[in-house]
Structure 1
Amino acid sequence: MALLVSLLFLFMFPMRNNGQGPPSPGYYPSSRIGSIGFNQGYSNLWGPQHQRIEQGQLTIWLDRNSGSGFKSHNPYSSGYFGAAIKLQTGYTAGVITSFYLSNNEAHPGNHDEVDIEFLGTTRDKPYVLQTNVYVRGSGDGNIIGREMKFHLWFDPTKDFHNYAILWNPNEIIFFVDDVPIRRYPRKSDATFPLRPMWVYGSIWDASSWATENGRYKADYTYQPFVGKYNNFKVNGCTPNGPASCRPASGSPSTSSGLSRQQYTSMAWVQKNYKVYDYCRDPQRDHRLTPEC
């Protein structure tokens, strides 16, 4: 009987990994970049009454009245951008906590964007980390997203973990604790963001789509919903900066791509923790995403 119960449990909840973290990537780009204080690189964008800084830690929160967001002082044409983030525990359905690049304010209705978004969840399910790339989005509800979604191999509410976006003229790489989880190469100018972007972070109500396509909404009996950030890292080239500035690299080599060891760790994450890939979604019109 015990064996039958065990087999039934494994069928319903298959083990997706061996309980350990991913293989070592062998290269740690965050260790090569010094941290900055929030005020050195960023300032409040909206919801100032829902944002505070204490001992180098930024806290932003969402309640019935407002969320909050911040923005980098400078735009960048390439770079490595990271922060350590700790997420809210408990019921967070409908709530988005984010760290991303965008030029929406410079190009409203036709912007580029590179996202790390944590999709809030119910008590019994893990967070989803959504990575996304927009290229000259239309802004009229027909923005073409390039989503890849993951669960994490740790509980992101228990402690701070480092999340980063590396963007250079050849590729975009998303990192979690220096482990590459996704690489988006430049296959054509039409499918890659090339215009300068700013760095943003925010917490906001996206009940219409964030959790299981809007099935679960934000419930403000659980407010405030809190996002905590520290260990900010910015290493980028500005549009009008010195010609000597060289785009950041995500690998030991100065060329594009990842090392073999990094590809191994990324493959482990994608095998065990990837839960959605827009290129493999049969309901998507892939004529709009030719890089697939």
Structure 2
Amino acid sequence: MAFFIPLFLILMIQPSNASSWPPSPGYYPSSKFRSMTFYQGFRNLWGPQHQRMDNNALAIWLDSSSGSGFKSVRPFRSGYFGASIKLQPGYTAGVITAFYLSNNEAHPGYHDEVDIEFLGTTFGKPYTLQTNVYIQGSGDGRIIGREMKFHLWFDPTQGFHHYAILWSPKEIIFLVDDVPIRRYQRKSVATFPLRPMWLYGSIWDASSWATEDGKYKADYRYQPFIGMYTNFKATGCSAYAPRWCHPVSASPFRSGGLSTRQYMAMRWVHSHYLVYDYCRDSKRDHSLTPECWG
């Protein structure tokens, strides 16, 4: 005897993963910019003995003797900066794997910085992706971070995923696999980085704060801790470009901003995976972060 099951009942009894993945942003900025090899755009900054090429991907690692870092050969005043990154599985507490913009070497103690940082974790717990923006003063004793932290809708240790920063004179947009996860707008000169910055990547021991505010430290029984980087993108206006160089956009609009579909995808990420927002932290002194008020 044959049975006919209506389609709507099939859909009701089948498990759905629709809530586990963000809606399509409808626009994919990573496809708009050319990739480069590591040696075309970067050089080792420190820990050269902890850095190697592995099947067209750069591996950098931390052990008890050292970490490692790299730096772009050119500074930029705006642009799209991305890399496909794969993280170390297992126990990685205390370890930071980072991809970021900074001018710390040009302005020590009074620098700007735009961070994507992966905060290591303990067994069975997810990585935290921390985004941060510093403006003219990180490291001078009056550190004002603008952290937003996220978990991810995938396991970043199981494959490469593309992480990017879009920095223009009026906004900073952080993206994961082309999905915008954060938009930081320029609301005043005092709260926005405008000086040229270089692009960096690094892996290092931040046991004092990285994992649950320093509760769990780096454990070198699990060394080496490896970060893999490939598919590098660094496109935009270098510090040496003519004044008419037009900043790139992360949306279909040349003027910047985000499309309606991109906003929908970002709101989905915030509702499902945002775990910390500095503007909502009642313990923070928000007189130091006036952009939080609109």
Give the C-alpha shift of residue 18 in structure 1. Answer: 4.8
Aligned-partner Cα distance in 2 for 1:49–1:239: 30
Q: Which moved more, 1:242-251 or 1:197-206?
A: 242-251
Q: 1:180: which partner in 2?
A: 180
Give the C-alpha shift of residue 55 in structure 1. Answer: 3.1
Q: 1:21: which partner in 2?
A: 21
Q: 1:160: which partner in 2?
A: 160
Aligned-partner Cα distance in 2 for 1:123–1:141: 34
Bigger-Rg structure (1/2): 2
Q: 1:200: which partner in 2?
A: 200
Aligned-partner Cα distance in 2 for 1:69–1:138: 19
Aligned-partner Cα distance in 2 for 1:138–1:199: 17
Q: What one-letter code is carried by the residue in structure 2 that aligns with 1:150? A: F
Q: What one-letter code is carried by the residue in structure 2 that aligns with 1:65? A: S
Retained in 1: the 8 A contact 2:98–2:118?
Answer: yes
Give the C-alpha shift of residue 19 in structure 1. Answer: 4.4
Aligned-partner Cα distance in 1 for 2:283–2:164: 30
Tell me the secondary structure at the aligned position of residue 31 of structure 1: helix
Match status 1:45 vs 2:45: yes
Q: 2:287: which partner in 1?
A: 287
Aligned-partner Cα distance in 2 for 1:113–1:138: 8
Aligned-partner Cα distance in 1 for 2:18–2:262: 19
Q: 2:10: which partner in 1?
A: none
Q: What one-letter code is carried by the residue in structure 1 that aligns with 2:256? A: S
In structure 2, relative to structure 1, the CA distance for the partners of 1:24 and 1:225 (3 Å cut) is: same
Aligned-partner Cα distance in 2 for 1:19–1:122: 26
Deviations for 1:38-85, whole angstroms, at most 9, x for unmatched residues? Answer: 000000000000000133210000000000000000000000000000
Tell me the secondary structure at the aligned position of residue 135 of structure 1: strand
In structure 2, relative to structure 1, the CA distance for the partners of 1:151 and 1:138 (3 Å cut) is: closer
Structure 1, unmatched stretches of 5+, are 1-16
Tell me the secondary structure at the aligned position of residue 149 of structure 2: strand
Q: 1:74: which partner in 2?
A: 74
Deviations for 1:231-273, whole angstroms, at most 9, x for unmatched residues? Answer: 0011121122133421010110111210000000000000000
Aligned-partner Cα distance in 2 for 1:123–1:139: 32
Tell me the secondary structure at the aligned position of residue 40 of structure 1: helix
Tell me the secondary structure at the aligned position of residue 24 of structure 1: coil
Identity of aligned residues (%): 73
| TM-score w.r.t. length of structure 1 | 0.93
Give the C-alpha shift of residue 139 in structure 1. Answer: 1.5
Aligned-partner Cα distance in 2 for 1:138–1:202: 18
Q: What one-letter code is carried by the residue in structure 2 that aligns with 1:100? A: Y
Aligned-partner Cα distance in 1 for 2:187–2:69: 32
Aligned-residue CA RMSD (Å): 1.0
Tell me the secondary structure at the aligned position of residue 76 of structure 2: coil
| TM-score w.r.t. length of structure 2 | 0.92
Tell me the secondary structure at the aligned position of residue 77 of structure 1: strand
Aligned-partner Cα distance in 1 for 2:165–2:66: 27
Tell me the secondary structure at the aligned position of residue 283 of structure 2: coil
Q: 1:113: which partner in 2?
A: 113
Q: What one-letter code is carried by the residue in structure 1 that aligns with 2:97? A: T
Tell me the secondary structure at the aligned position of residue 265 of structure 2: helix
Q: What one-letter code is carried by the residue in structure 1 that aligns with 2:117? A: E
Q: How many residues are matched?
A: 276
Q: What one-letter code is carried by the residue in structure 1 that aligns with 2:201? A: G
Aligned-partner Cα distance in 2 for 1:44–1:184: 30
Deviations for 1:129-187, whole angstroms, at most 9, x for unmatched residues? Answer: 00000000241342100000000000000000000000001100000000000000000
Retained in 1: the 8 A contact 2:110–2:140?
Answer: no
Alignment of 1:239-254 (within 5 A): 239-254=239-254
Tell me the secondary structure at the aligned position of residue 156 of structure 1: coil
Q: 1:258: which partner in 2?
A: 258
Retained in 1: the 8 A contact 2:112–2:138?
Answer: no
Tell me the secondary structure at the aligned position of residue 125 of structure 2: coil
Q: 2:3: which partner in 1?
A: none
Q: Which moved more, 1:258-267 or 1:238-247?
A: 238-247
Structure 2, unmatched stretches of 5+, are 1-16
Q: 1:122: which partner in 2?
A: 122
Q: 1:151: which partner in 2?
A: 151
Aligned-partner Cα distance in 1 for 2:146–2:77: 21
Match status 1:83 vs 2:83: yes
Tell me the secondary structure at the aligned position of residue 200 of structure 2: strand
Aligned-partner Cα distance in 2 for 1:225–1:54: 15
